[in-house]
Chain A
Amino acid sequence: MHVDPKREMVQSKGGRIGMALLLIVVFLAIFAPLLTTYEPLEQTVQIFAAPSWEHPLGTNHVGQDIWSQLVYAARTSLLVGLLVAVFSTVLSALIGTSAALIGGVYDHVVMRLVDAFIIIPIIILLILLSVYFNPNLSRGPLLIGIGVLIVIAVICISLYAVRNLGWVGMLIVCPLIALVLLSRDIIQSTGGLIIILALLCWQGGARVVRAQALSLKENAYISAVQGFGASIRYIIRRHIIPELGPLLVADFIFCVRRAVFLQAGLAFIGIGDPNVVSWGSMISDARDWIFLDVWVWWLLPAGIALSVTIVAVTLIGYSLEPALDPRLRGEVSAQN
């Protein structure tokens, strides 16, 4: 069945709402400096100020402008979410396809690894790793290495998105690139976290990609094309990647969702660079002061912003589901 992810996303009501919401968040993130008057980390003397013209959402326990924190935190979540998804999807695609096509011992070993990783509870692993490793990457060579990886991965995804998803692809890629450029400092601090999260997220996608690639391999159509003398590269480029496309798009979206969730959770328990503003850390800080009324303009907006972002991504992802599972199509109810 020919599936066009772009079409599915645009046509479904949920998909449209999701994209609209996400666009708002992206807008806030990119134009943060223009929308705020104070720096997010700038401490003033006005502690727990109520919302006013000067501080639209008031200030927190150290006098930082909440509105500004809220808006800049969007960058963190989006950046981490998107970059983790970028890496993870690329890894899933590579490992999944190679496992399917190469087969044999390689496939066996890779799949056992995948299974083992899926079972391990991520939080525990992250906590363990965070104790011993500092996610802050101030070290030079590692930073450059990661920077290069980011550039490569982003280029790959951009090419695919623009070529196959048309204007929707542009909609994903442009903000992504803008965000990456604007938030180089965040990357420096969270780069390690991004890599680690990506290393823990690719397994799910790899399994699915491998299954699909395997069934494609057996596809009579592929045999036919081989009968015309097509090379492996041609087959991968012309037939396998387009088939895997929708799967990878769906995987990407759900990975963004997971990453945003995880990053917020980790920030909540205090893992990560304290200088990086994120909704999770805001919620964590606000929690200490829930006895005061301040939670209304401190905790709630951060929570809503986080939820809206996740729901937006979920809606987009969910709009793709009927495309991937034909049994979900049609609007007939069982009751007649």
Chain B
Amino acid sequence: MFTRQNLIIYLVALLIILTLNFLLPRMMPGNPIIAIYGDVAVVQMSPELEAELTERFSLDQSLGRQFVSYWAALFRGDLGYSYAYNAPVAEVIFGRLPWTLLLAGLALVISTIMGILLGIESGWRRGKRLDGSLLTGMITLSGFPDFLLGILLLLLFAVNLQLLPLFGAESAYSDLGGFQRLADIGKHLLLPLVTLVLARVSGGYLLTRNAFIGELKEPYILLARAKGLKQETIRYRHAGRNSLLPVMTRTGVLLGLMVTGVLFVEIVFSYPGIGLATYEALTYRDYPLLQGLLLVSAICVLTANFIADLFYSKVDPRVSYAR
């Protein structure tokens, strides 16, 4: 549903975030540097650094000028300086982003596909054993927050059974190359990935199952049976395909939340992505990093939503008609 209206909504959302981001620290009483960097950081900052930052962000000037300078910095790609990591914020963020995208992307794809397949098979056998147990299982699963699942899995496989690594995206200080490196990354990825998939699959499952059950009652299914089509064909090409819209809409939303949705899992598994960085920034009161993260997240969200919108009508032609 790519429309100009949606574009405007996204821009509005972005503006809200950015403006809040800009205003909030500056509305606190006291030295803006302290508000932006936190008193802990400022105390430890060298006077030269302090002076440089003040100048870069026009912190000693009027709000208006600060605003201009804020935007100018944004366009420069200068997101400030991370005190905790002792590096430019941009560097920190873009170093971490790929890991998050890897984890979140895989999780999204796998959980969506699993949810759809299980939802269809469950809906087809509604009221029977498989459906009953799947449904119960999924609802129970949906009660577990992702961080809890992660901790339990970590406990079981990493701590007690010691099968999988405890933290990180790859073994530190190891000089693995090529396939070995891939395998190493895979091992580290496994538990967080499984956690995320388990946490997300029930949503897609329930949506698909409901939509599927509804579709089966539609007249065109009887026609499909009359045409002598095989059961699998009816199940997937006809009813299944038409049940995708709700779950695709949800996937679109999840796509947007992809970057930020893995926060808890990254924390539990100490996985070096954007989420963990956010947590650390929060803990260490590293405000510039936090703000930079917020900005990057916001942009990712909006971009992802945008892309999702472009694909909606391809999936289901009824969408453009319904609008």
Contact = CB atoms under 8 A, between A and B. Distances in A.
A332 B290 CA distance: 53
Given A120-B16, A287-B151, A325-B210, 18 more contacts: A117-B13, A119-B10, A119-B302, A123-B261, A124-B297, A127-B290, A127-B294, A131-B285, A265-B145, A268-B264, A269-B282, A270-B282, A283-B147, A290-B151, A303-B151, A303-B152, A334-B125, A335-B231
Given A121-B261, A132-B24, A295-B155, A265 B127 contact: no
A268 B139 contact: no
Nearest to A132: B24
B124 A112 contact: no
Interface string B81-119: 000000000000000000000000000000000000000
A160 interface: no
A119 B15 CA distance: 13
The 7 closest A-B pairs by CB, nearest first: A311-B143, A327-B214, A310-B143, A121-B260, A116-B13, A307-B143, A303-B148
Given A127-B290, A131-B287, A112 B9 contact: yes
Nearest to B257: A121
Dominant secondary structure of chain A at its interface with chain B: helix
A303 B260 CA distance: 23
A128 B290 contact: yes
Contact of B139 (A14, A132, A265, A331): A14
A298 B206 CA distance: 32
B128 interface: yes
A291 B217 CA distance: 53
Contacts of B154: 290
B181 to A, nearest CB: 28
Contacts of B196: none
Given A124-B294, A333-B127, A116 B260 contact: no
Contact of A327 (B217, B267, B298): B217
B151 A131 contact: no
B17 interface: yes
Nearest to B24: A132
Nearest to B154: A290
Interface of A: 14, 112, 115-121, 123-125, 127-128, 131-132, 261, 264-265, 268-271, 283, 287, 290-291, 295, 299, 303, 306-312, 314-315, 318, 321, 325, 327-328, 330-335
B151 A112 contact: no
Interface of B: 5-6, 8-10, 12-13, 16-17, 20-21, 24-25, 28, 123-128, 131, 139-140, 142-145, 147-148, 151-152, 154-155, 159, 206, 210, 213-214, 216-217, 231, 235, 253, 256-257, 259-261, 263-264, 267-268, 278-279, 282-283, 285, 287, 290, 293-294, 297-298, 301-302, 305
Contact of A290 (B8, B159, B293): B159
Given A121-B260, A328-B210, A283 B148 contact: yes
8 contacts: A132-B25, A303-B144, A314-B142, A314-B143, A321-B210, A325-B214, A327-B214, A333-B124
A119 B5 CA distance: 14
B128 to A, nearest CB: 6
A271 to B, nearest CB: 8
A299 B107 CA distance: 26
A124 to B, nearest CB: 5
A311 B155 contact: no
A121 B297 contact: yes
A334 B151 contact: no
Contacts of B264: 265, 268-269
B302 A299 contact: no
Contacts of B279: 269
A227 to B, nearest CB: 31
Nearest to A330: B217
Contact of B28 (A132, A303, A318, A333): A132
Contacts of A265: 145, 147, 264
Contacts of A327: 213-214, 217
A319 to B, nearest CB: 11
A283 B159 CA distance: 16
A128 B267 contact: no
Contacts of B16: 116, 120
A116 B9 contact: yes
B297 A328 contact: no
Contacts of A269: 263-264, 267, 279, 282
B125 to A, nearest CB: 6
Given A121-B256, A131-B287, A331 B9 contact: no
A270 B264 CA distance: 12
A34 to B, nearest CB: 27
Given A127-B278, A283-B151, A287-B268, A119 B124 contact: no
B282 A131 contact: yes
Contacts of A328: 210, 213-214
Contacts of B259: 121
Contacts of B267: 268-269
A128 B213 contact: no
Q: Which of A120, A271, A335 has the most CB of B within 10 A?
A: A120
Contacts of A295: 155
Q: Which of A125, A261, A271 has the most CB of B within 10 A?
A: A125
A112 B12 contact: yes
Contacts of B260: 121, 123-124
